[in-house]
């Protein structure tokens, strides 16, 4: 099957080569792109409403069967590695290492990370990479290799650059980035969050695209996607019931208000916490430099984990860590269908570190006087991270999805209480945004 992609770039450099080194001081703040593709539409099934059977008998071959007959995989993880390499060469980065779980492939890149799920891709790159140039490649690969014609949701974000004049197009300004995305998506909205004279944070996101779907048979959808991370039917979650023979979605409200349902094939409860840190303590940065006679790469990365306490953030994780020469560090960690990723630029003139996680936080057992177990666990996680890097300033962004109005109220209370005061730092901003299906809290802190 032919793959009609945009013109291919020149061959990528050897794995691990750093495109941005030639520009001098490194641009640590990343560009973060997340694209969710629409689950395959399923045709209505002929179903006897009086039957107790969960089996469905489609009147015609469903879309999944048609896609398989055409050679589509319905899984981004089956895209050939050389096609991802070509896409990444367009972005100007290369693959260093890969680890996988049953749900996701985590690519450690020369300039940050990529996570590939069956129906979702997350690409995060720093330096002078041209991340948005990956968009047409990703859309075409998803269509020609997996049969995905439609994007369900897209998120693009970054903090303000340290050296904006070094950025090539289409990243020379936020207006240029928004224009580029608007040329590809009709339902996007852009936001500038935070003090425009200090630490700005930029966000572009699209509304959920549901106009192409006909998911009248949720039970069949669940069966055909069995085992995929976003369509789990474990006992912990309640996905759908049948009323008069029709599948309907419902919610599960656990004791700590953690909801997990499915709509359009995706979990309706989705959380991402990101901590962006600048002006890092030089003493805390010493472990992130290459040591005498020390192997760099994965061996050096493991040493950094142990010396800094990063290995204690998620002891159960499958971790892929990399130490650069002469300095710098990246890692990906996987826990079930969640991931975390850390990237560090330790040089004093441009020190920066980022931490991002989608791993659900387990509530702490001992809750404070006015606390909640999950909220306290989130505050504890943030405290652990900033204690390791000791930033002069840091920004927290915390995304959490909601499914209905009652859940949104609990969601907002959780977000507001999680991004609280942290000893030794003064909170300069605390901003709440409510989006379609998501809530966001933004907090910016400076050292006292």
Q: Would you name the residues annotated as active-site residues?
A: 27, 30, 112, 126, 330, 343
* CA quadruple 404, 405, 406, 409: dihedral sign: positive
3-state SS, residue 96: strand
133/288 Cα distance (integer angstroms): 31
- Strand 31-37 and strand 352-357: pairing? unpaired
Say how many residues make up the chain: 448
Q: What are the start-end ranges of the E strands in 252-317?
A: 262-263, 266-267, 271-280
- Strand 266-267 and strand 391-401: pairing? unpaired
Under a CB-based contact definition with an 8 Å cutoff, are residues 162 and 28 in contact?
Answer: yes
Give 330's strand partners.
Answer: 322, 343
- Strand 201-206 and strand 105-109: pairing? unpaired
Quickly list DSSP for 188-244. Answer: EEEEEES-TTS--EEEEEE----TT-----HHHHHHHTTT-GGG---TT---EEEET
**Phi then psi for 182, rounded to 5 degrees?**
-60, -25
437/264 Cα distance (integer angstroms): 13
404/22 Cα distance (integer angstroms): 50
């Amino acid at each position: 099957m032919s793959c009609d992609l945009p013109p291919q770039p020149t061959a990528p450099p050897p794995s691990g080569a750093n495109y941005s080194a030639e520009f001098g001081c490194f641009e640590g703040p990343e560009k973060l792109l997340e694209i969710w593709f629409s689950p395959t539409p399923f045709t209505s099934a002929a179903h006897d409403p009086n039957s107790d059977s969960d089996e469905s008998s489609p009147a015609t071959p469903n879309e999944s069967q048609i896609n398989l007959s055409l050679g589509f995989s319905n899984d981004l993880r089956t895209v050939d590695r050389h096609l991802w390499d070509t896409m990444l060469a367009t972005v100007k980065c290369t693959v260093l290492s890969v680890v996988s779980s049953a749900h996701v492939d985590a690519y450690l890149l020369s300039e940050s990370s990529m996570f590939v799920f069956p129906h979702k891709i997350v690409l995060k790159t720093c330096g002078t990479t041209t991340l948005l140039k990956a968009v047409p490649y990703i859309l075409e690969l998803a269509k020609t290799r997996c049969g995905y014609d439609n994007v369900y949701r897209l998120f693009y974000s970054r903090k303000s650059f340290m050296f904006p004049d070094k950025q090539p197009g289409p990243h020379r300004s936020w207006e240029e980035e928004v224009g580029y995305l608007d040329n590809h998506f009709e339902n996007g909205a852009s936001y500038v969050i935070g003090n425009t004279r200090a630490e700005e944070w930029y966000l572009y996101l699209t509304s959920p695209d549901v106009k192409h779907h006909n998911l009248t048979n949720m039970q069949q959808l669940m069966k055909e996607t069995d085992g995929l991370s976003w369509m789990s039917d474990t006992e912990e979650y309640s996905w759908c019931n049948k009323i008069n023979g029709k599948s309907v979605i419902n919610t599960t409200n656990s004791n700590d208000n953690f909801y997990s349902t499915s709509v359009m094939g995706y979990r309706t409860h989705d959380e991402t916490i990101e901590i962006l840190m600048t002006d890092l303590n030089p003493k805390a940065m010493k472990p992130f430099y290459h040591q005498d006679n020390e192997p760099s790469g994965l061996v050096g990365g493991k040493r950094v984990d142990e010396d800094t306490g990063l290995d204690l953030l998620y002891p159960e994780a499958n971790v892929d860590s990399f130490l650069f020469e002469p300095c710098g560090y990246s890692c990906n960690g996987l826990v079930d269908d969640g991931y975390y990723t850390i990237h560090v630029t330790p040089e004093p003139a441009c020190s920066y570190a980022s931490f991002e996680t989608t791993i659900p936080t387990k509530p702490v057992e001992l809750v404070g006087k006015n606390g909640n177990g999950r909220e306290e666990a989130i505050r504890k996680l943030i405290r652990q991270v900033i204690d390791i890097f000791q930033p002069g300033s840091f920004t927290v962004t915390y995304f959490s999805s909601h499914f209905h109005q009652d859940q949104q109220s609990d969601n907002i209370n959780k977000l507001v209480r999680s991004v609280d005061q942290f000893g030794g730092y003064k909170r300069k901003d605390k901003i709440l945004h409510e989006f379609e299906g998501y809530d966001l809290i933004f907090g910016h802190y400076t050292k006292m």
